[in-house]
Structure 1
Amino acid sequence: MLCARVWDSYDDILKARKAAWNWFVKDPNRITSIGKRDWACVTV
């Protein structure tokens, strides 16, 4: 949502960040899937 983009102002960056966060939070399955990836797990 935020990579490889350029904004005209700091306020534009904050708006984009808020929109990206809201998009991410609305999809709990996406959040859960990140933690289930083999490369994202830590074993001790």
Structure 2
Amino acid sequence: MIWHVQNENFILDSTRIFMKAFHLLLFDGSFIFPECILIF
């Protein structure tokens, strides 16, 4: 059970990192800043 929860958190963190990298590839730095505020 504990491992399952940690695994879900790891997947969520990986997805969050992937989305930030994806936004960095699509948008410039002036747009990624407010986008990060919306994500968090």
Letter in 1 for 2:3: D
Q: Which runs of 4+ in 1 moved over 4 A?
A: none
Q: Which structure's residues are more often helix, by fraction?
A: 2
Letter in 1 for 2:8: A
> TM-score by structure 2 length?
0.52
Please give the secondary structure, in 2, of the residue aligned with 1:27: helix
Letter in 1 for 2:12: A
| Number of aligned residue pairs | 28
> TM-score by structure 1 length?
0.49
**Superposed CA offset, 1:1-44 (max 9, x none):** xxxxxxxx000000000001000100113x74142x5xxxxxxx
Identical pairs, percent? 4
The structure having more radius of gyration, on CA atoms, is 1
What is the alpha-carbon root mean square deviation over aligned residues? Answer: 2.5
